[in-house]
Amino acid sequence: MSKAEAGVPAHLYLHRATGAVIEPSAPGGVVKFGPVPSPEELAPLMLDAYRGTPDDEGETLEDTIEILRSAVAGGFGPWLAEVSFVGLDVDGRRLGAILTALDEEGTPFVAFVFTHPGHAGRGVASALISQACSVLAAMGYPDLRLWVNARNERALRLYRHLGFTGVSG
Protein backbone atom coordinates (compact mmCIF):
# COMPACT_ATOMS: atom_id res chain seq x y z
CA MET A 1 0.00 0.00 0.00
CA SER A 2 1.40 3.40 -0.98
CA LYS A 3 1.50 6.35 1.41
CA ALA A 4 -1.25 8.04 -0.60
CA GLU A 5 -3.42 4.93 -0.30
CA ALA A 6 -2.70 4.83 3.44
CA GLY A 7 -3.99 8.39 3.84
CA VAL A 8 -0.54 10.01 4.08
CA PRO A 9 -0.42 13.33 2.19
CA ALA A 10 1.79 13.62 -0.87
CA HIS A 11 3.38 16.79 0.53
CA LEU A 12 3.90 18.12 4.02
CA TYR A 13 3.75 21.83 4.88
CA LEU A 14 6.46 22.72 7.39
CA HIS A 15 7.66 25.88 9.12
CA ARG A 16 10.27 27.19 11.55
CA ALA A 17 11.08 30.45 13.26
CA THR A 18 13.64 32.48 11.35
CA GLY A 19 15.36 33.68 14.52
CA ALA A 20 16.09 30.20 15.88
CA VAL A 21 19.76 29.27 15.60
CA ILE A 22 20.66 26.47 13.20
CA GLU A 23 23.58 24.42 14.45
CA PRO A 24 25.73 23.19 11.55
CA SER A 25 25.78 19.42 11.27
CA ALA A 26 28.70 19.33 8.82
CA PRO A 27 31.20 21.84 7.46
CA GLY A 28 29.53 21.87 4.04
CA GLY A 29 32.22 23.76 2.23
CA VAL A 30 30.05 26.87 1.73
CA VAL A 31 32.29 29.87 2.30
CA LYS A 32 30.12 32.59 0.81
CA PHE A 33 26.78 33.27 -0.80
CA GLY A 34 26.24 34.78 -4.22
CA PRO A 35 23.32 36.00 -6.29
CA VAL A 36 21.16 33.54 -8.18
CA PRO A 37 22.50 33.29 -11.73
CA SER A 38 20.29 33.16 -14.80
CA PRO A 39 17.89 30.22 -15.11
CA GLU A 40 20.04 28.90 -17.97
CA GLU A 41 23.12 28.87 -15.72
CA LEU A 42 21.37 27.44 -12.64
CA ALA A 43 19.22 24.78 -14.34
CA PRO A 44 21.97 22.14 -14.81
CA LEU A 45 22.72 22.20 -11.07
CA MET A 46 19.03 21.93 -10.18
CA LEU A 47 18.45 19.13 -12.67
CA ASP A 48 21.44 17.16 -11.34
CA ALA A 49 20.36 17.75 -7.73
CA TYR A 50 16.84 16.38 -8.26
CA ARG A 51 17.76 13.50 -10.57
CA GLY A 52 16.94 10.16 -8.96
CA THR A 53 15.17 11.68 -5.95
CA PRO A 54 11.46 11.39 -5.12
CA ASP A 55 11.10 14.89 -6.63
CA ASP A 56 12.44 13.79 -10.03
CA GLU A 57 9.54 13.92 -12.47
CA GLY A 58 11.66 13.35 -15.57
CA GLU A 59 12.17 17.03 -16.33
CA THR A 60 14.51 17.98 -19.14
CA LEU A 61 17.01 20.80 -19.04
CA GLU A 62 14.53 22.95 -20.97
CA ASP A 63 11.77 22.11 -18.45
CA THR A 64 14.05 23.07 -15.58
CA ILE A 65 14.99 26.37 -17.22
CA GLU A 66 11.28 27.18 -17.58
CA ILE A 67 10.59 26.25 -13.95
CA LEU A 68 13.36 28.59 -12.80
CA ARG A 69 12.20 31.36 -15.13
CA SER A 70 8.74 31.02 -13.64
CA ALA A 71 10.10 31.15 -10.09
CA VAL A 72 12.09 34.35 -10.61
CA ALA A 73 9.15 35.92 -12.49
CA GLY A 74 6.85 35.33 -9.51
CA GLY A 75 5.12 32.18 -10.73
CA PHE A 76 5.28 30.63 -7.25
CA GLY A 77 4.51 33.89 -5.47
CA PRO A 78 6.46 37.14 -5.25
CA TRP A 79 10.13 36.18 -5.53
CA LEU A 80 12.45 37.33 -2.75
CA ALA A 81 15.68 37.93 -4.66
CA GLU A 82 17.45 39.11 -1.50
CA VAL A 83 16.69 35.75 0.15
CA SER A 84 17.58 33.66 -2.90
CA PHE A 85 21.21 32.81 -3.50
CA VAL A 86 23.80 30.17 -4.29
CA GLY A 87 26.30 28.71 -1.86
CA LEU A 88 29.84 28.89 -3.17
CA ASP A 89 33.00 27.06 -2.18
CA VAL A 90 36.42 28.65 -1.77
CA ASP A 91 37.00 28.41 -5.54
CA GLY A 92 33.65 30.00 -6.39
CA ARG A 93 31.98 26.75 -7.49
CA ARG A 94 28.24 26.55 -6.94
CA LEU A 95 27.46 23.91 -4.32
CA GLY A 96 23.73 24.54 -4.08
CA ALA A 97 20.99 27.14 -4.22
CA ILE A 98 17.88 28.36 -2.44
CA LEU A 99 15.03 30.29 -4.04
CA THR A 100 12.56 31.97 -1.72
CA ALA A 101 9.18 33.56 -2.41
CA LEU A 102 6.15 34.83 -0.50
CA ASP A 103 3.03 32.69 -0.18
CA GLU A 104 -0.52 34.03 -0.48
CA GLU A 105 -0.41 35.06 3.21
CA GLY A 106 2.81 37.04 2.74
CA THR A 107 4.92 34.45 4.57
CA PRO A 108 8.31 33.55 3.07
CA PHE A 109 8.66 30.00 1.82
CA VAL A 110 11.39 27.96 0.22
CA ALA A 111 10.34 27.41 -3.38
CA PHE A 112 13.49 25.36 -4.05
CA VAL A 113 16.59 24.34 -2.18
CA PHE A 114 19.03 21.95 -3.80
CA THR A 115 22.60 20.74 -3.50
CA HIS A 116 25.08 19.48 -6.06
CA PRO A 117 24.92 15.68 -5.75
CA GLY A 118 28.65 15.50 -5.02
CA HIS A 119 28.10 17.63 -1.92
CA ALA A 120 24.84 16.10 -0.66
CA GLY A 121 24.83 15.37 3.06
CA ARG A 122 27.68 17.81 3.76
CA GLY A 123 25.74 20.72 5.21
CA VAL A 124 25.18 22.77 2.05
CA ALA A 125 21.38 22.87 2.34
CA SER A 126 21.70 23.61 6.06
CA ALA A 127 23.99 26.56 5.29
CA LEU A 128 21.59 27.87 2.64
CA ILE A 129 18.56 27.61 4.91
CA SER A 130 20.48 29.13 7.83
CA GLN A 131 21.52 32.10 5.69
CA ALA A 132 17.94 32.53 4.42
CA CYS A 133 16.65 32.51 8.01
CA SER A 134 19.23 35.12 9.05
CA VAL A 135 18.30 37.43 6.18
CA LEU A 136 14.57 36.95 6.78
CA ALA A 137 14.92 37.62 10.52
CA ALA A 138 16.82 40.85 9.74
CA MET A 139 14.00 41.83 7.36
CA GLY A 140 11.44 41.28 10.15
CA TYR A 141 9.93 38.01 8.93
CA PRO A 142 9.35 35.69 11.92
CA ASP A 143 8.65 32.45 10.00
CA LEU A 144 9.90 30.41 7.03
CA ARG A 145 7.77 27.73 5.40
CA LEU A 146 8.25 25.01 2.83
CA TRP A 147 6.48 22.12 1.17
CA VAL A 148 8.25 18.76 1.08
CA ASN A 149 7.44 15.58 -0.77
CA ALA A 150 6.36 13.11 1.93
CA ARG A 151 8.34 10.37 0.13
CA ASN A 152 11.58 12.37 0.31
CA GLU A 153 12.76 10.92 3.61
CA ARG A 154 16.23 12.45 3.33
CA ALA A 155 14.80 15.96 2.96
CA LEU A 156 12.32 15.33 5.78
CA ARG A 157 15.16 14.28 8.12
CA LEU A 158 17.08 17.43 7.21
CA TYR A 159 14.12 19.75 7.75
CA ARG A 160 13.24 18.13 11.08
CA HIS A 161 16.89 18.42 12.13
CA LEU A 162 16.76 22.14 11.24
CA GLY A 163 13.72 22.65 13.46
CA PHE A 164 10.91 22.60 10.92
CA THR A 165 7.58 21.33 12.24
CA GLY A 166 4.16 20.81 10.71
CA VAL A 167 1.92 23.76 9.93
CA SER A 168 -1.51 23.23 11.46
CA GLY A 169 -4.77 24.30 9.98
- Give the model confidence (pLDDT) of 54-90 as tens digits: 888 899 999 999 999 999 999 999 999 999 999 999 8
Report which DSSP code applies to 90.
T
What pLDDT score was predicted for residue 82?
96
CB atoms within 10 A of CB 81: 13
Give the start-to-end residue ranges of the domains of the chain.
26-164
Mean pLDDT across the stretch 8-21? 83
pLDDT band with cut points at 50, 70 and 90 for residue 120: confident
List phi, psi (to 5°) of 62.
Answer: -65, -40
Phi-psi region of 148 (alpha: psi -120 to 50; beta: other; left: phi over 0): beta
CATH number of 26-164: 3.40.630.30
Threshold 0.95, pTM exceeds: no
Task: Tell me, letter by letter, the H, E, C secondary structure of 74-86.
Answer: CECECECHHHCEE
